[in-house]
Amino acid sequence: MTVGPGKPIFTRVPSDQFVLQSASLVALVSFSEDASVYLKTITFEDGETMVAMRKGGIVMGAKGKGDKGYMRLVCEYIYSQIVSTLTLKVQSIFRKSSKFDLRSMLTSTDAIIQGLIDKSESTGCLIAGSVETVALEKEVRKELERVMVTAAEKVQNTVFGVVVSEGKLATVVQPKEGGIRLSGSDLILLSNFSKVQKKTLMNCESWFPLCLPGFNANGFLYCYCYCLHEAAGMFLMLLSNVNTPAMFHGFQQARVAIGEALGAGGRGAGPGGEAVKGVLASMEDWERKVTERYSGHAGVLHFLYRGDFRVKGEGEGVVSQCLSPEGEEDDGTTFKTNEIDFIGKSAGQGRVEYKIKGTEMYVGMTGFGGEIYAVMPSVVGIDEGIRRVGRLGRRIWEDREVLFVVNPPVFGNNG
């Protein structure tokens, strides 16, 4: 990735061959007359494809044997991370001075960008535009939600409240007022940030500016972050549009109340209360059995389920969530390519798509409150493959209150 006139700010594979190939492609998009967005794709003799995308003064490139749509998607998320760090106003800098060197302002983003790339390779959440969710028993999640809503309603100018664990969503609370909603991509950025910065964030309570492009790409929110439990990588994140000492202290008091309610005092270093014990026990229990209960039950090698769960408040709003456990498939690249193909088609209840490639069969299906994409051996046959995906969908739907934040809670107007 480069900014301005070819200044590199992030490179994952520092090989001479890669640099030479990418320099040629970056030059094509850098000197395009299109001042906003430009995309260029080149296929090399070894069968690898490179995608270069320019948005204003920022150029991103991805190279590999994967689908160009998948690589473009990764570039989009990397760009969103840059905007999350600096807001969209960064583009005005390049309009005023194309030679401006942005690298000094992005020195801390390498690990976060790498985390997004790792997430794109290990799960289907970036493709689905949905955040992975921690599986919790229904009563445990409801108690967590109750505590969060109570705290949010007591602090004026709270915009969002989020609890994440190891980069997965445990719950999110949003204002009752319609139109103030977190997108799936924003939740992915938040969850990735908490996981990548885990060691730094768990050492102290933090207060920092953070732009969520899906919510408002032109300005910052201010995030109070506190580690509720070290071993579980569980973080409380409270966000406001107000940057004052009073706001920080208000969130401090909310954190104390949440910690007392959950029994999570002192960053969870102690034995903890019953609520935290319940959260941890539920997480560990479902982590052990999720693959057997879903992939094993249906007889599929790997799958992705995506669902949009409607927020209970006024107006439109959903929290897009996904389930994509590690499967038996060695290389997820082809699976991701077919996920993109299926997701890109028009939606409709009961729609079924399938594709056979070599020894594998890919099936996509809408229904059961969302969309399911699965891979299995081609010897299974089309009819049986569709039955297996249907069986998988029914099992997921039966467990939806455990697997997802089904009715994302809201809190009353307080600002």
> Looking at residue 290, what is its pLDDT?
76
Question: Which residue range(s) make up the domain with 146?
Answer: 131-281
* Closest to 26 in 3D by CA, of 16, 46, 40: 40
Q: What is the pLDDT along the chain (415 residues), one digit of tens a residue?
A: 665 555 666 777 665 655 665 566 666 666 555 556 677 777 777 778 888 888 877 878 777 776 777 788 888 888 898 889 888 887 777 767 666 666 666 767 778 888 888 887 777 788 888 999 988 888 888 988 999 999 999 999 999 999 998 889 999 999 988 778 899 999 999 999 999 988 888 878 999 999 999 999 999 999 999 998 887 888 999 999 999 999 999 999 999 988 888 775 544 433 445 666 667 777 777 777 777 788 887 888 888 899 989 887 666 688 999 988 766 544 444 455 555 555 555 445 678 888 888 888 889 888 888 888 888 999 999 999 999 999 999 999 999 999 999 989 999 855 4
> What CATH number should be reported for the domain holding residue 107?
3.30.450.50
Domain annotation covers residue 268: yes
Q: Which among 253, 281, 309 is the end of a domain?
A: 281
> Looking at residue 342, what is its pLDDT?
58
> Looking at residue 23, what is its pLDDT?
66
Assess whether 142 and 271 both reside in one domain. yes
> Looking at residue 377, what is its pLDDT?
92
Q: Which among 255, 281, 307 is the end of a domain?
A: 281
Please tell me the distance from the alpha carbon of residue 354 to that of residue 8, in angstroms, as a whole number: 41
Assess whether 38 and 149 both reside in one domain. no
> Looking at residue 400, what is its pLDDT?
94
Domain annotation covers residue 413: no
> Looking at residue 296, what is its pLDDT?
82
**For the chain, how many structural domains are there in total?**
3
Assess whether 141 and 102 both reside in one domain. no
Assess whether 32 and 162 both reside in one domain. no
Assess whether 141 and 247 both reside in one domain. yes
> Looking at residue 248, what is its pLDDT?
97
Q: Which among 90, 122, 154 is the end of a domain?
A: 122
Assess whether 118 and 159 both reside in one domain. no
Assess whether 147 and 112 both reside in one domain. no
